[in-house]
Amino acid sequence: PIYTATTSGITVSHNQGSGTLVEGAVYQYRFAFVDAAGQESVPSAALSVTVPTGNGLPDNEIQLANLPTAPGQYSQVRIYRTDANGSEFFQLATVATGSTYDDDGSVVGGPTLDDGVLNGNYSYMLTYQHAGDPETKPSILVGPQNIVDGRIHLTNLPTPPVPPATGGFPAYDTIRIYRNTATDQNSFYLVDSISPGQDYTDSKTDAEISNLAIVGNQQV
Protein backbone atom coordinates (compact mmCIF):
# COMPACT_ATOMS: atom_id res chain seq x y z
CA PRO A 1 0.00 0.00 0.00
CA ILE A 2 0.91 3.65 -0.47
CA TYR A 3 0.16 6.18 2.29
CA THR A 4 0.47 9.96 2.37
CA ALA A 5 0.00 12.18 5.40
CA THR A 6 -2.50 15.00 5.06
CA THR A 7 -3.21 18.27 6.85
CA SER A 8 -6.97 17.80 6.54
CA GLY A 9 -8.70 18.13 9.91
CA ILE A 10 -5.78 19.74 11.77
CA THR A 11 -6.93 22.64 13.94
CA VAL A 12 -4.65 25.54 14.86
CA SER A 13 -4.79 27.80 17.93
CA HIS A 14 -2.42 30.38 19.41
CA ASN A 15 -1.23 31.13 22.93
CA GLN A 16 0.53 34.37 23.85
CA GLY A 17 3.15 34.51 26.57
CA SER A 18 4.08 30.82 26.54
CA GLY A 19 6.61 30.52 23.72
CA THR A 20 9.18 32.25 21.52
CA LEU A 21 7.45 32.38 18.12
CA VAL A 22 7.37 35.77 16.41
CA GLU A 23 4.20 37.78 15.89
CA GLY A 24 3.28 38.35 12.25
CA ALA A 25 5.69 35.66 11.07
CA VAL A 26 4.62 32.79 8.84
CA TYR A 27 5.53 29.25 9.95
CA GLN A 28 4.91 26.28 7.66
CA TYR A 29 4.40 22.70 8.85
CA ARG A 30 4.59 19.32 7.11
CA PHE A 31 3.75 15.91 8.54
CA ALA A 32 4.84 12.33 7.78
CA PHE A 33 3.75 9.00 9.26
CA VAL A 34 6.57 6.89 10.75
CA ASP A 35 6.70 3.08 10.74
CA ALA A 36 8.38 0.71 13.20
CA ALA A 37 11.63 0.81 11.23
CA GLY A 38 11.73 4.62 11.46
CA GLN A 39 10.90 5.10 7.77
CA GLU A 40 8.53 7.90 6.80
CA SER A 41 5.51 7.99 4.53
CA VAL A 42 5.18 10.59 1.79
CA PRO A 43 5.03 13.90 3.69
CA SER A 44 1.97 16.11 3.60
CA ALA A 45 1.60 19.36 1.76
CA ALA A 46 2.56 22.44 3.77
CA LEU A 47 0.23 23.88 6.39
CA SER A 48 0.89 27.63 6.63
CA VAL A 49 0.26 29.41 9.94
CA THR A 50 0.63 33.15 10.60
CA VAL A 51 1.12 34.17 14.23
CA PRO A 52 -1.47 36.89 14.98
CA THR A 53 -0.57 40.35 16.24
CA GLY A 54 -0.82 40.73 20.01
CA ASN A 55 1.54 42.37 22.49
CA GLY A 56 4.32 42.86 19.97
CA LEU A 57 6.64 40.36 21.64
CA PRO A 58 8.16 37.08 20.32
CA ASP A 59 6.43 35.09 23.07
CA ASN A 60 3.91 33.01 21.16
CA GLU A 61 3.00 29.34 20.87
CA ILE A 62 1.16 27.49 18.09
CA GLN A 63 -0.98 24.52 19.10
CA LEU A 64 -1.69 21.85 16.47
CA ALA A 65 -4.61 19.58 17.38
CA ASN A 66 -6.16 16.57 15.62
CA LEU A 67 -2.87 15.61 14.00
CA PRO A 68 -3.19 13.15 11.08
CA THR A 69 -4.31 9.61 11.79
CA ALA A 70 -3.08 6.60 9.86
CA PRO A 71 -3.72 2.88 9.31
CA GLY A 72 -2.61 0.48 12.03
CA GLN A 73 0.84 0.03 10.47
CA TYR A 74 1.65 3.56 11.63
CA SER A 75 1.28 4.78 15.21
CA GLN A 76 3.32 7.97 15.04
CA VAL A 77 3.46 11.16 13.02
CA ARG A 78 6.60 13.28 12.59
CA ILE A 79 6.26 17.06 12.55
CA TYR A 80 8.48 19.40 10.52
CA ARG A 81 8.43 23.22 10.54
CA THR A 82 10.21 26.11 8.87
CA ASP A 83 11.87 28.96 10.70
CA ALA A 84 9.97 32.28 10.72
CA ASN A 85 9.17 33.13 7.09
CA GLY A 86 11.51 30.35 5.98
CA SER A 87 11.19 27.64 3.34
CA GLU A 88 13.32 24.72 4.63
CA PHE A 89 11.60 22.21 6.92
CA PHE A 90 13.27 21.01 10.12
CA GLN A 91 12.14 18.16 12.37
CA LEU A 92 10.33 19.22 15.56
CA ALA A 93 8.98 16.07 17.15
CA THR A 94 7.55 12.58 16.68
CA VAL A 95 4.24 12.10 18.46
CA ALA A 96 1.23 9.78 18.48
CA THR A 97 -1.08 10.03 15.47
CA GLY A 98 -4.24 12.01 16.18
CA SER A 99 -2.67 13.79 19.16
CA THR A 100 -1.99 17.47 19.96
CA TYR A 101 1.39 19.20 19.73
CA ASP A 102 2.30 22.54 21.35
CA ASP A 103 5.01 24.32 19.37
CA ASP A 104 6.58 26.92 21.64
CA GLY A 105 9.56 27.50 19.36
CA SER A 106 12.04 25.85 21.73
CA VAL A 107 13.03 23.15 19.22
CA VAL A 108 15.27 24.50 16.45
CA GLY A 109 17.59 23.08 13.82
CA GLY A 110 16.49 19.44 13.77
CA PRO A 111 17.10 17.10 10.79
CA THR A 112 15.73 18.41 7.50
CA LEU A 113 12.73 16.85 5.78
CA ASP A 114 13.37 14.20 3.13
CA ASP A 115 10.61 14.75 0.58
CA GLY A 116 12.01 12.36 -2.05
CA VAL A 117 9.53 10.05 -3.76
CA LEU A 118 9.56 7.03 -6.06
CA ASN A 119 8.34 6.99 -9.64
CA GLY A 120 8.25 3.78 -11.60
CA ASN A 121 7.24 0.14 -11.72
CA TYR A 122 8.80 -1.75 -8.82
CA SER A 123 9.06 -5.33 -7.60
CA TYR A 124 10.84 -6.79 -4.58
CA MET A 125 12.79 -9.90 -3.60
CA LEU A 126 13.40 -10.98 -0.02
CA THR A 127 16.12 -13.07 1.59
CA TYR A 128 16.80 -14.30 5.13
CA GLN A 129 20.13 -13.83 6.84
CA HIS A 130 21.97 -14.74 10.03
CA ALA A 131 25.33 -13.17 10.83
CA GLY A 132 28.20 -15.43 9.82
CA ASP A 133 26.04 -17.70 7.64
CA PRO A 134 25.22 -17.58 3.92
CA GLU A 135 22.20 -15.55 2.86
CA THR A 136 19.26 -17.59 1.54
CA LYS A 137 18.26 -17.65 -2.10
CA PRO A 138 15.90 -14.78 -2.97
CA SER A 139 12.14 -15.19 -2.83
CA ILE A 140 9.79 -15.07 -5.77
CA LEU A 141 8.92 -11.55 -6.91
CA VAL A 142 6.69 -9.41 -4.71
CA GLY A 143 4.84 -6.96 -6.95
CA PRO A 144 4.95 -5.25 -9.31
CA GLN A 145 3.73 -1.95 -7.88
CA ASN A 146 3.39 1.08 -10.12
CA ILE A 147 3.91 4.28 -8.20
CA VAL A 148 3.82 7.98 -9.04
CA ASP A 149 5.31 10.47 -6.55
CA GLY A 150 4.96 8.09 -3.63
CA ARG A 151 6.58 5.62 -1.24
CA ILE A 152 5.76 1.93 -0.90
CA HIS A 153 4.78 0.46 2.47
CA LEU A 154 5.53 -3.26 2.71
CA THR A 155 3.37 -5.22 5.14
CA ASN A 156 2.84 -8.87 6.12
CA LEU A 157 6.38 -9.82 5.12
CA PRO A 158 7.10 -13.54 5.57
CA THR A 159 8.99 -14.57 8.69
CA PRO A 160 11.97 -16.93 8.65
CA PRO A 161 11.27 -20.59 9.48
CA VAL A 162 12.37 -21.99 12.82
CA PRO A 163 15.22 -24.47 12.38
CA PRO A 164 14.52 -28.03 13.56
CA ALA A 165 16.19 -29.33 16.70
CA THR A 166 18.51 -31.40 14.55
CA GLY A 167 19.69 -28.29 12.68
CA GLY A 168 19.81 -28.02 8.92
CA PHE A 169 19.75 -24.25 8.55
CA PRO A 170 20.56 -21.22 10.74
CA ALA A 171 18.16 -19.33 13.01
CA TYR A 172 17.65 -16.49 10.55
CA ASP A 173 17.05 -13.19 12.36
CA THR A 174 17.16 -10.65 9.54
CA ILE A 175 15.05 -10.02 6.43
CA ARG A 176 16.82 -8.34 3.54
CA ILE A 177 14.75 -6.33 1.07
CA TYR A 178 15.87 -5.99 -2.56
CA ARG A 179 14.23 -3.87 -5.28
CA ASN A 180 14.67 -3.27 -8.98
CA THR A 181 15.04 0.19 -10.51
CA ALA A 182 12.62 2.02 -12.75
CA THR A 183 14.99 1.67 -15.70
CA ASP A 184 16.09 -1.93 -15.10
CA GLN A 185 13.38 -4.40 -14.12
CA ASN A 186 15.78 -7.35 -13.90
CA SER A 187 18.48 -6.06 -11.54
CA PHE A 188 17.69 -6.04 -7.82
CA TYR A 189 19.58 -4.01 -5.23
CA LEU A 190 19.58 -4.07 -1.44
CA VAL A 191 17.20 -1.48 -0.01
CA ASP A 192 17.46 -2.30 3.69
CA SER A 193 17.58 -5.01 6.35
CA ILE A 194 14.85 -5.34 8.98
CA SER A 195 13.87 -7.62 11.84
CA PRO A 196 11.18 -10.28 11.30
CA GLY A 197 7.69 -9.00 12.01
CA GLN A 198 8.40 -5.42 10.98
CA ASP A 199 6.70 -3.43 8.23
CA TYR A 200 8.84 -1.25 6.01
CA THR A 201 8.32 2.01 4.12
CA ASP A 202 10.53 2.25 1.04
CA SER A 203 11.70 5.74 0.15
CA LYS A 204 15.14 4.88 -1.26
CA THR A 205 15.81 6.36 -4.69
CA ASP A 206 17.15 4.24 -7.55
CA ALA A 207 20.42 6.19 -7.47
CA GLU A 208 20.80 5.53 -3.73
CA ILE A 209 20.58 1.75 -3.97
CA SER A 210 22.17 1.03 -7.36
CA ASN A 211 25.52 2.74 -6.83
CA LEU A 212 27.68 -0.24 -5.88
CA ALA A 213 30.59 2.06 -5.07
CA ILE A 214 28.75 3.00 -1.86
CA VAL A 215 29.80 0.78 1.04
CA GLY A 216 26.94 -1.54 2.03
CA ASN A 217 25.18 -1.44 -1.33
CA GLN A 218 24.89 -4.78 -3.09
CA GLN A 219 23.05 -6.57 -5.85
CA VAL A 220 21.04 -9.72 -5.12
Using one digit for the tens of pLDDT, what is the confidence trace for 37-78? 788 999 999 999 999 998 999 999 999 999 999 877 788 999
State yes or no: pLDDT of 214 exceeds 90. Answer: yes
Angle (nearest 5°) at CA 55 between 49 and 61: 40
Q: Which residues contact 209 (CB under 8 A, 6 or more apart)?
A: 179, 181, 189, 190, 191, 217
| pLDDT mean over 167-185 | 95
Per-residue pLDDT band at 116 (split at 50, 70, 90): confident
| pLDDT mean over 182-196 | 95
Report the range out of 114-118, 123-127, 161-165 with the highest average pLDDT.
123-127
Closest CA to 126 of 141, 106, 109, 105: 141
Per-residue pLDDT band at 2 (split at 50, 70, 90): confident
Per-residue pLDDT tens for 86-110?
999 999 999 999 999 999 999 988 8
The long-range contacts involving 159-166, CB below 8 angstroms and separated by at least 24 positions, are 159/196, 159/197, 160/128, 160/196
Per-residue pLDDT band at 82 (split at 50, 70, 90): very high
CA separation (Å) from 173 to 35, 36, 130, 131, 170?
Answer: 19, 16, 6, 8, 9
In the sheet that holds 184-194, the strands lie side by side as: 142-150, 118-129, 174-181, 184-194
pLDDT for the residue numbered 30? 97
The pTM (predicted TM-score) of the whole model is 0.79
